[in-house]
Structure 1
Amino acid sequence: MRVVLAGGGTAGHIEPALATADALLRADPETDVVLLGTERGLETRLVPERGYELALIPPVPLPRKLTPELIRLPARVRGAVRQTAAVLREWQADVLVGFGGYVALPAYLAARRLGLPTVVHEANAKPGLANRIGARFTQHVALANTDVPLPHGQHIGIPLRRSVATLDRAATRAEGRAFFGLDDQAPTLLVFGGSQGARRLNGAVTEAIDALTGAGAQVLHAVGAGNIDSAVARPGYVPVPYIDRMDLAYAAADLALCRSGAITCAEVAAVGLPAVYVPLPHGNGEQRLNAEPTVSAGGGLLVADAELTGDWLTANALPLLTDRERLAGMGEAAARLGRRDADDRLVQMVHRAVETQDAGGR
């Protein structure tokens, strides 16, 4: 089987695509996989690092509002569809799997033109334009959240990197703390806000660090590469520019302070780690929607970006961090919502899409 995955642009699209690629090869090592992307996205680094082929197509940014770019959009889409169709023919694709974003839209249209079966995966609680269009062309639609307004949607979760999907936090706790040079007993707060860090999270932790460490807690803080020179390590405070081993960071932590992108919410819930979610106050509000199911189930707290301060952390996160019984209950609530098998379930959907197409005659 030859599978083309359209998941370029941001890590939120690329990581589920790469996890799906790994799962496809686990299911059948003879599967041929190629990812679609553009020369502007993170995929130019992430995809080759994982050993997969990358085919480049022109980017088609999708404006959220009425702008002059919207007028030029049809011409850009037509050109990208032609080039994407050429890639699908060159690779003799049997199926297209799209993960949304500006790579997926021309891929969906090209696959429809060629009569290829299509699978759509939507990671966010509020679907974007590409997936709203792609879902009209197929009955094979996978959702990360329930109640997402897409036709034929099936709730499967988000395909996660294998190191996270298979993580046993309790069994890996000592390894994680040793890896980051943390005390093996102190309550531990993990803070991360994406590859560049998050200014609001960084500022609040700086304001609260004396109170946190003074109460016997410790903090593992991914501050972002651009901020590491101003972050001073001290007893109970371990700043790092970026965390490559998120599995070990999750294992080391008792509580997370983080944004609420789709991947973050899926990973934190899957491993059963309680979290304080701080939605990014931009976009179409999807980050708040991503976190709400876990928060409503008792697996986390939600605080608006503008309300997060050092005083808020001291008053709310610190008492939680030192309450092991409450943390355990929150972790169990999060884990009940988490899905660790979304990659395998998406692969099953891909196989069904191909089998259905073959049965009907291509």
Structure 2
Amino acid sequence: MDDKGPRVVVAGGHSAGHIEPAMNFADALRQLAPAAEVTALGTVRGLDTTLIPARGYPLELIPPAPLPRKITRALLHTPSRLRDSIRAAGTVLDQVRADVVVGFGGYVAAPAYLAARRRGLPIVIHEANVRPGAANRLAARLTSHVYTASPTVRLKHGTPIGIPLRPAITGLDRAQARDAARQRFGLHTDAPVLLVTGGSQGATAINAAASGAATALRAAGVQVLHITGPQHSAEIETPEGDPPYVVLPYVDEMQHAYAAADFAICRSGAMTCAELAAVGLPAAFVPLPDRGGEQRLNAGPIVAAGGALLVNELTPAWIEATLLPILADPARIAAMSARASAAGAPGADTVLARHVLAIAERHRPAR
């Protein structure tokens, strides 16, 4: 490497599930190679303009070019949109003199991959979901540098390494941080805590079921930390009293929420599954019913290990009949926590960063 370090373009936009592993990888890359120049591609759709600048990385916007999962009328408009997006991505690659493109899927990934291919740049992809998206399925035909969350990910050439996570997550000692985390959210230190979250955007069905069970949870002495999503906090009506039922629209540093909780109700996006396994927090996973069942597949390894439950339809009645007995059984929660931890794969951020640095080093002398 020369004194300026490698020039890396990361493409993982639109949703937190794509952006977070991309930024976690970028952080690890900078730790290993402080002179590395990292540029992120994004679009005005989604969370790119919010999450990426907050992590301290330059963001270049290109037109979104989502690839339809199925053959629909939208496919007729894909060629022109994709062409414009590839051209814009190529301009960024040329301007920053990129050495390598690292993609995580999402709206910007396919244009970045194709622009890199035209320039002879090495392409590295990471796929978090058991059922890969269209962009990464395409890229797996263009490169052998393919890394996945687990051996169950269905992608050609895939090497399982886990999902890049923040050190604040992988290094979390929940038992040590529990009291301070509960005080942070206005919770008691000596009563069980149920974390409820539908992801960065929230989930109406999860919100409704949890708030519908609020009276039963309170009667059982269970505290609730309910993260509703920014658009949904006004929808939650819970009785006032003790133990607390704390409602928040969003939490920036989820390690504190994980430390405060004994159990979680949540979606089973790939990042959520990886984080809960990393911290050993047992959960009731409520997969999104669409997206080809990928969230159900993401939850599979942790559920099979005994670290989580899979819920087809979350209702107040299910919470009262099934979850309350678990929350009243510390031994069962401890056993599920240990099994969840066993399903985790920490260190993926550093592993991926080392691979990318080696690939960039092999490529640079030829340029």
Q: What's the TM-score once normalised by structure 1's chain length?
A: 0.95
Query: What SS does structure 2 have at the residue aligned with 1:23?
Result: helix
1:315 matched residue in structure 2 = 321
**Does 1:269 find its partner at 2:288?**
no
8 A contact 1:118–1:353 mirrored in 2: no
8 A contact 2:104–2:136 mirrored in 1: yes
What percent identity do the matched residue pairs reach? 55
Offset at residue 197 of structure 1 (A): 2.4
Query: What SS does structure 1 have at the residue aligned with 2:141?
Result: helix
Which residue of 276, 284, 306 corresponds with 2:292?
Answer: 284
2:242 matched residue in structure 1 = 235
Offset at residue 55 of structure 1 (A): 0.9
**Does 1:331 find its partner at 2:333?**
no
Residue by residue over 1:228-284, the C-alpha shift from the partner in whole angstroms, topping out at 9 and shown as x without a partner, is 334344322111222222111100100000011111111111100000000011111
1:17 matched residue in structure 2 = 22
Larger mean CA deviation between 138-147 and 104-113 belongs to 138-147
8 A contact 1:221–1:238 mirrored in 2: yes
1:179 matched residue in structure 2 = 184
2:3 matched residue in structure 1 = none
> Aligned-residue CA RMSD in angstroms?
1.4
Report the Cα distance in structure 2 between the residues aligned to 1:41 and 1:257, rounded to whole angstroms.
24
1:201 matched residue in structure 2 = 206
1:110 matched residue in structure 2 = 115
2:266 matched residue in structure 1 = 258
Task: Give the ranges of 4+ consecutive aligned residues of structure 1 lying more than 4 Å apart after TM superposition.
Answer: none
Offset at residue 337 of structure 1 (A): 1.3
Unpaired segments ≥5 residues, structure 2: 1-5
Q: What's the TM-score once normalised by structure 2's chain length?
A: 0.94
Offset at residue 330 of structure 1 (A): 0.8
1:59 matched residue in structure 2 = 64
**Does 1:349 find its partner at 2:348?**
no
**Does 1:157 find its partner at 2:162?**
yes
8 A contact 1:4–1:93 mirrored in 2: yes
| Counterpart mapping for 1:53-132 below 5 A | 53-132=58-137
Residue by residue over 1:52-100, the C-alpha shift from the partner in whole angstroms, topping out at 9 and shown as x without a partner, is 1011111112112222221221222222212211111110111100001
8 A contact 1:35–1:53 mirrored in 2: yes
Query: What SS does structure 1 have at the residue aligned with 2:78?
Result: helix
**Does 1:3 find its partner at 2:13?**
no
8 A contact 2:99–2:364 mirrored in 1: no
8 A contact 2:195–2:261 mirrored in 1: yes
Offset at residue 185 of structure 1 (A): 1.0
**Does 1:136 find its partner at 2:144?**
no
Offset at residue 51 of structure 1 (A): 1.4
Matched pairs, number: 359
Report the Cα distance in structure 1 between the residues aligned to 2:212 and 2:144, rounded to whole angstroms.
50
